Amino acid sequence: MKGEGIRLSRREFLEVSAFAAVSSSFAKSSEKTLPPAPDFRLGSRPLVVKPILTYSVYRRLEATSWRAWGGIETESEAGKEIARIRDELQKLRKKADFPIRFLEPSKVSNPSQVANLTDIDKADAVLVYAAGAWVDTLQAIVDKGLPTIFFVRFRTQPYYLWHEIIHARFLRSHTDRLMQKRVSYDDVVVDDYDELLWRLRSLYGLVNTVGRRIIAIGGPGGWAYPPGIPSPPELARERWKLDIVTVPTPELVKMIEAARKDNRQVEKARKEAEQYMAQKGITVQTRKEFVVEAFMLANLFREIMKQHDAYAITTNGCMGSYAGIMPCLTLSLINDSGYMAYCESDFVVIPAGILLHFISGKPTFFCNPTFPTREGVILFAHCTAPRFMDGKRGEPARLLTHFESDHGAAIKVEMRKGQTVTVVNPDFEAREWCGFVGEIVGTPFLPVCRSQVEVKVKGDVSKVISSMRGFHCMIVYGDYRKEVGYALSKVGIGWTDLSS
């Protein structure tokens, strides 16, 4: 597996070069400096959105109702509204903190015009400016099967008809319950482009998670799960369409043994490790050779991902599995390069890590939760935490051994006290995830996995205690509860916000 004969497209070349540039930054940085922030959108594609204005043209009639509510009544007014929409979306695209592309806005007034929209098949989602037209036109758009958001004007003017009637006539179909199958109350935005933006951010995360290819060293797993249900890898393939590529452990071991005999690979890893250890904020409390081999393994992981055109990797097993190398620090380094790397091949929680990575534009911390205190403090720990948790700069860290084996190189990242974090806790059956927002209040040094963080729950801790599920959690800097819940609704998984 040396990569001979592999031909990369320009896109692939740029992405692989970006990965290599982050690694080489260690060699370029002088002692006690910080490397540049990596690109955490690496391997993603923009969210493509089709904007559609639905409208009606009216003709005055005497002594009868001839128009519905709304400020658009003519073709000329519809044309002016299209121009306004185009301008507003251009501003929104510049404001967005994720890649997004808006197709040319179209205007429709009946279902046949919806059928003639030739570019809608290029979109990931539809944004409907529901100024007018009737139920059949909106239904024709929704029946295209794409995630659909309705934007209605109230105070921003011109007033939109569907601000009045979308709830009762379209969503509930003149009943007292939601009747639509593909859209819900959360898919309606009134006036507020910030409300629209977080929904689009959620869909960006979703389209870059569904179908994602991930390398599973030693095969996919699920830590542990109840009998009688599909395995976590099966559920990950079903719900998220993950493309899980197995690389057998013996195959990786052969690569490790060959790399140890290759002076160029050893020297490259040594230089990268020395520059890393010399960075500001790094304290080394393990043997140098363990750190060097962690970098060598990171380079091999990069080679494997390059060969399979993948941007995510997970390891099944650690102690004794990889020719004596503990992959803890390696996985941290991969995460800090803009890629995604997870321990234990746990496909109960890996989809949450991928989703959060793209929604936030930051790396995620795969970790074990503990039983909460009555004051609402939960200890989370693992040995593979990224340093660039805020997506911009590396947190201080100590390089230690892996705790259980007291061997190799693992990392203790000193995460920022006072930092708001989102904690996502997926369930074994992929039916109902839960999560909450909290504040980092401590980074102790207990005899447990090396990266340790105490998070104080914002909300009712008794609710958290009775609601926790699965085994592992994912943590990300920032509050992304709304985005997670919205994305999950599109793949048939429920969401319980324990901080609401």
| 3-state SS record for the chain | CCCCCCCCCHHHHHHHHHHHHHHHHHHHCCCCCCCCCCCCCCCCCCEEEEEEEECCCCCCCCCCCCCCCCCCCCHHHHHHHHHHHHHHHHHHHHHCCCCEEECCCEEECCHHHHHCCCCHHHCCEEEEEECCCCHHHHHHHHCCCCCEEEEECCCCCCCCCHHHHHHHHHHCCCCCCCCCCCCCHHHEEECCHHHHHHHHHHHHHHHCCCCCEEEEECCCECCCCCCCCCCHHHHHHHHHCCEEEEECHHHHHHHHHHHHCCHHHHHHHHHHHHHHHCCCCEEECCCHHHHHHHHHHHHHHHHHHHHCCCCEEEECCCCCCCCCCCCHHHHHHHHCCCCEEECCCECCCHHHHHHHHHHHCCCCEEEECCCCCCCCEEEEEECCCCCCCCCCCCCCEEEEEECCCCEEEEEEECCCCCCEEEEEECCCCCCEEEEEEEEEEECCCCCCCCEEEEEEECCCHHHHHHHCCCCCEEEEECCCHHHHHHHHHCCCCEEEECCC
pLDDT at 33: 65
pLDDT at 4: 33
Q: How many CB atoms lie within 10 A of CB 211?
A: 10
pLDDT at 321: 85
pLDDT at 17: 46
pLDDT tens digit string along 49-93? Answer: 999 999 999 988 888 888 999 999 999 999 999 999 999 999 999
The closest alpha carbon to 314, from 409, 220, 223, 413, belongs to 220
Q: How far apart are CA 494 and CA 401, in angstroms?
A: 39
Positions in the chain whose pLDDT score sits under 70 = 1-34
Contact between residue 481 and residue 186 where contact means Cβ atoms under 8 Å apart: no
The angle at the Cα of 417, spanning 413 to 418, to the nearest 5 degrees, equals 145
Contact between residue 190 and residue 163 where contact means Cβ atoms under 8 Å apart: yes
pLDDT at 22: 45
Please tell me whether the overall predicted TM-score, pTM, comes out greater than 0.85 for this model.
yes
Q: How far apart are CA 401 and CA 128, in angstroms?
A: 54
Q: How far apart are CA 274 and CA 454, in angstroms?
A: 31
